[in-house]
Amino acid sequence: MPQWRKDPLVDRWVVVATERAKRPCDFKVPAYETKGERCPLCPGHEGDTPPEVLSFRREGTQRDTPGWWIRVVPNKFPAVRVEAREGVYRRGIYDFMDGLGAHEVVVEAPAHEPFLENLSGRQLEEVIRAWQQRSLDLRKDGRLKYIAIFKNFGQVAGASLEHTHSQILAIPMVPREVREELEALKQHARLTGKCVLCQVLDQEIREQERLVVQGGSFLSFAPFASRFPFETWIAPREHQHDFAAVRHDQVRNLAGVLRETLLRLQKSLGGAPLNVVLHTAPVNEPDTHYYHWHLEILPRLTTIAGFELGTGYYINPTPPELAASILREQEVFCAPPVMEVQKGAVQYV
């Protein structure tokens, strides 16, 4: 029997179509093909991008030259611009503003590798630290209210370059979905004195049905009201509102859970397109300590059609319990990393 399931974080219902119960082989996943084109993100092509704003590189190497293992550059075709004016204007019934913000690309490794999960655990730690450092730096601009960090993998998911990379968009408003989560968590904390996502994690650990990876400070799980087949979240077990405040000693654990979760998805879904999006507390806003940050991994196996667009509700043909069971069955520890971080290197800003 199909079920309507309510997301405990927001007022959103999802139809879990249990009678369809689609497994990975039931989805048409296009084989991932490399393009073989000149890559502007590879070492030696630094002149193809704007000047870097952050890099982790070998000692003695100069900015915008080879020798880096993490490189962050402004997007060559930015959706928003930091030099735009602040302020909302009105023309009749319409409000508008200049395209204020910052848009950056995080090149996650020098190796021309499409899959983030094929990198070493240490390299993923460096990716996370780059995300954190750019978040801390961008929030110094008091006009910006939210730092969106996301990754598109595969053309269907919006990726135009195959070299593993993520993006950062700092914007002057809080996204509606995050605002709804903020209000819901605040209201729940006011009524119960507890964080609803902390309670979700406690229940997932007790029940084990939707748990995918449990690794010390972090865990990944298939949400009870998953919108998409094989949707998987990663969250800290400790209540934390700001991703940039993840402690140095926790980064390795987070990198390990992220890598293992992505490897399980890759082995189960055959390199299907997906998006990884960070939900974290706004910046330059009053107290938001009741929020609980998390990463959402959203495979693009189904097409959003008329029902979803017309109602805002989703139909998920794969129950999250089935998805989690399939992901747990995968053996992932034999995957060799593409590269390791070189020793004796320094960070260049």
Is residue 335 scored above 50 in pLDDT? no
Q: What is the pLDDT of residue 139?
A: 97
What contacts 191, CB < 8 A, 6 or more positions away? none
Catalytic residue among 165, 188, 241, 294: 165
Higher pLDDT, 271 or 107: 107
What contacts 142, CB < 8 A, 6 or more positions away? 284
Q: What is the mean pLDDT of residues 207-214?
A: 96
- Which of the four pLDDT bands, split at 50, 70 and 90, describes residue 338? low
Q: What is the pLDDT of residue 66?
A: 97
Q: What integer best gives the mean pLDDT of the chain? A: 91
Given the DSSP bridges, would you call strands 314-316 and 13-16 parallel, antiparallel or unpaired?
A: parallel
Rounded CA separation 130/54 (Å): 8
Residue 146: domain span: 3-24+42-80+95-339
- Measure CA of the first residue to CA of the last residue in the chain; give whole Å: 56
Q: What is the mean pLDDT of residues 190-201?
A: 96
Q: What is the mean pLDDT of residues 81-98?
A: 86
Give domain status of residue 31, yes or no: no
Q: What is the pLDDT of residue 21?
A: 62
- Which of the four pLDDT bands, split at 50, 70 and 90, describes residue 31? low
Is residue 336 scored above 70 in pLDDT? no
Is residue 82 scored above 70 in pLDDT? yes
- Which of the four pLDDT bands, split at 50, 70 and 90, describes residue 334? very low
Give domain status of residue 349, yes or no: no
Contact present, 338 and 111 (Cβ < 8 Å): yes
Give domain status of residue 346, yes or no: no
Identify which of 121, 124, 127 has the alpha carbon closest to the alpha carbon of residue 106.
Answer: 127
Spell out the SS3 assignment of the chain. CCEEEECCCCCCEEEECCCCCCCHHHCCCCCCCCCCCCCCCCCCCHHHCCCCCEEEEECCCCCCCCCEEEEEEECCCCCCECCCCCCEEEECCEEEECCECEEEEEECCCCCCCCHHHCCHHHHHHHHHHHHHHHHHHCCCCCCCEEEEEEEECHHHCCCCCCCEEEEEEECCCCHHHHHHHHHHHHHHHHHCCCHHHHHHHHHHHHCCCEEEEECCEEEECCCCCCCCCCEEEEECCCCCCHHHCCHHHHHHHHHHHHHHHHHHHHHHCCCCEEEEEECCCCCCCCCCCCCCEEEEEECCCCCCHHHHHHCCEEECCCHHHHHHHHHHCCCCCCCCCCCCCCCEEEEC
148-173, pLDDT tens digit by residue? 999 999 888 888 899 999 999 999 99
Is residue 341 scored above 70 in pLDDT? no
Q: What is the pLDDT of residue 297?
A: 98
Number of domains comprising the chain: 1
Higher pLDDT, 88 or 114: 114
Q: What is the mean pLDDT of residues 54-71?
A: 96
pTM of the model: 0.92
Give domain status of residue 86, yes or no: no
237-275, pLDDT tens digit by residue? 999 999 999 999 999 999 999 999 999 999 999 889 999
Q: What is the pLDDT of residue 347?
A: 52
Identify which of 127, 136, 147 has the alpha carbon closest to the alpha carbon of residue 80.
Answer: 147
292-330, pLDDT tens digit by residue? 999 999 999 988 889 999 998 999 999 999 999 999 998
Q: What is the mean pLDDT of residues 193-201?
A: 97
Residue type at 341 in one-letter notation: V
Give domain status of residue 344, yes or no: no
Rounded CA separation 254/236 (Å): 8
Q: With pLDDT > 90 as the criterion, what percentage of the chain qualifies?
A: 76
Give domain status of residue 29, yes or no: no
- Told to judge if 165 belongs to the known catalytic residues of this protein, a careful annotator would answer yes
Give domain status of residue 30, yes or no: no
Please report, for the domain that includes residue 202, its CATH number.
Answer: 3.30.428.10
Give domain status of residue 37, yes or no: no
